[in-house]
């Protein structure tokens, strides 16, 4: 890392704001190509970006240990003891990866500058670190500042609710040394469900407050029912049609919170030791000075075209800040789009959002829930306009005889679903709620990208026993 007084040059070929996946990968690639690069990062604790510090890696590390030592499994050890050891392992891994990411970028041609970045003109950036300031400029600028939790106003709590140590966003929760005995989760999005599942398996009494009448209402009803059933088995309690009206927060932070709820019009009170707020994340643009740079932003974040170009010349926005899907792997693909312009010289003939292809996603529940393409509901809604003859193959994991792996590892819950167009035999989408779903969904995504017929998956030879071979049986339905 470099402090402001150590910066030797203030003009660079490319300035990257934020140490996220796309930005750091571009910084490394540009430096390796002989370009001068400055990567500005506000916090040393975020070297490497959200994923390795407060997102994917630490949460999946904790989930692994929660599954391994599940407090809801017969004969398991006590939750707090398991949680303490898991937290120590998570922190050690984070520290190691944080340092490794800094070392990966700090190579000849690239400098990591500690400080807060703010545009003060066209590709002119003021960097502030304490009372010190420095202005840097770049021929190109890449904005990679990520996203931040959406902060609600809750009666009874400070304007910034996490000023009360009993109130947490995901970042604070997964860094908390003590396992909450009773925890409520405000919000039933996929991040909230992941954390509810994990902490229930560690032994917390977890209640999810959901304003809707079912989980994941944008998914097929089968998904909603299956996820609720599995998470309930994992120890999560759900309150549907519920809003949080106010919180009674005693002055002593050792005392529990009382959540005053409206549950389908009925007033209820819930006493908890911790409240997790998980109502979504918004692009992190506050304080960036976008107007001074001529960069347009909107409700979803910085406005970009198919090549991730902003409204300002030679300024790109990558990762969560540009309003696209908030996934690390999408951020990585964003870097490819910009790389084609800055290094490959392909201009508009290169990679773009328009030719990206299907993007999978996975929610790491127990078992994982993975999706790509269209749900059955969405496919049937589009069938007439697209001329599709929609067919759906769906089966419970426990009923797929040719797939013994889930039974062998004692996780045969969930289901597999593939949606196809009979006319063209093209795969329109898939939902995999099963063990290994985070891996198997990539096979479906590749088949869709290459426009392979569903029969290619049906008739393929897979290793045995594996979850992938479920396609041999499942797709016989069509």
CA angle, 390 as apex, 387 and 391 as ends, to 5°?
A: 155
Measured CA to CA, the distance from residue 163 to residue 351 in angstroms comes to 44
Q: 434: closest CA among 374, 363, 335, 345? A: 363
| 11 in active site | no
Kindly name the residue from 11, 64, 218, 464 that is annotated as catalytic: 464
Tokens 């400070």 sit on residue: 158
3-state helix, strand, coil in the chain (%, to 5): 35, 25, 40
Task: Kindly state the tokens that stand for 256.
Answer: 């529990």
Q: 210-233 in b/e burial notation, b at 16+ Cβ within 10 A?
A: beeebbbeebbebbbebbbebbee
Tell me the CA distances in angstroms from 99 to 53, 54, 217, one per residue in order: 11, 15, 40
Task: Kindly state the tokens that stand for 20.
Answer: 């996220």
Q: 18: closest CA among 52, 54, 47? A: 47
Tokens 């996490």 sit on residue: 162
DSSP one-letter string for 262-273: EETTEEEEEEES
Task: State the catalytic residues.
Answer: 464
């Amino acid at each position: 890392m470099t402090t402001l007084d150590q910066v030797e040059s203030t003009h660079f070929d490319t300035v990257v704001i934020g140490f996220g996946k796309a930005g750091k990968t571009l910084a490394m690639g540009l430096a390796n190509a002989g370009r001068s690069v400055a990567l500005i990062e506000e916090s040393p604790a975020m070297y490497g970006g959200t994923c390795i510090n407060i997102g994917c890696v630490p949460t999946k590390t904790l989930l692994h240990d929660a599954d391994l030592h599940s407090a809801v499994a017969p004969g398991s050890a006590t939750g707090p003891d398991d949680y303490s050891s898991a937290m120590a392992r998570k922190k050690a891994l984070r520290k190691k990866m944080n340092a490794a990411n800094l070392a990966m970028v700090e190579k000849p041609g690239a400098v990591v500058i500690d400080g807060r970045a703010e545009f003060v003109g066209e590709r002119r950036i003021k960097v502030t670190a304490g009372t010190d300031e420095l202005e840097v400029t770049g021929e190109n600028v890449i904005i990679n500042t990520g996203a931040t939790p959406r902060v609600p106003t809750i009666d009874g709590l400070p304007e910034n609710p996490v000023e009360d140590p009993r109130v947490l966003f995901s970042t604070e929760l997964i860094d908390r040394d003590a396992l909450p005995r009773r925890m409520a989760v405000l919000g039933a999005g996929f991040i909230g469900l992941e954390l509810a599942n994990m902490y229930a398996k560690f032994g917390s009494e977890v209640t999810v407050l959901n304003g809707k009448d079912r989980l994941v209402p944008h998914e097929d009803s089968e998904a909603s029912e299956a996820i609720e059933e599995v998470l309930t088995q994992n120890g999560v309690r759900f309150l549907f049609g519920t809003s949080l009206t106010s919180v009674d927060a005693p002055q002593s932070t050792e005392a529990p919170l009382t959540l005053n709820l409206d549950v389908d019009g009925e007033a209820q009170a819930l006493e908890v030791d911790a409240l997790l707020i998980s109502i979504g994340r918004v692009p992190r643009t506050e304080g960036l000075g976008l107007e001074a740079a001529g960069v347009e932003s909107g409700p979803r974040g910085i406005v970009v075209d198919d090549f991730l170009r902003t409204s300002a010349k030679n300024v790109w926005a990558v990762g969560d800040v540009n309003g696209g899907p908030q996934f690390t792997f999408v951020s990585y693909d964003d870097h490819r789009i910009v790389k084609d312009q800055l290094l490959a010289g392909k201009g508009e003939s290169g990679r773009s959002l328009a030719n990206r292809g299907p993007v999978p996603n996975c929610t790491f529940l127990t078992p994982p829930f993975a999706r790509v393409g269209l749900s059955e509901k969405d496919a049937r809604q589009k069938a007439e306009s697209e001329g599709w003859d929609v067919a759906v193959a769906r089966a419970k994991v426990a009923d797929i005889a040719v797939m013994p792996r889930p039974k062998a590892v004692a996780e045969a819950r969930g289901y597999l679903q593939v949606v196809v167009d009979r006319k063209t035999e093209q795969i329109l989408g898939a939902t995999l709620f099963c063990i290994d779903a985070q891996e198997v969904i990539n096979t479906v995504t590749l088949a869709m990208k290459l426009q392979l017929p569903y029969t290619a998956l049906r008739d393929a030879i897979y290793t045995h026993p594996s979850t992938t071979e479920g396609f041999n049986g499942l797709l016989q339905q069509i």
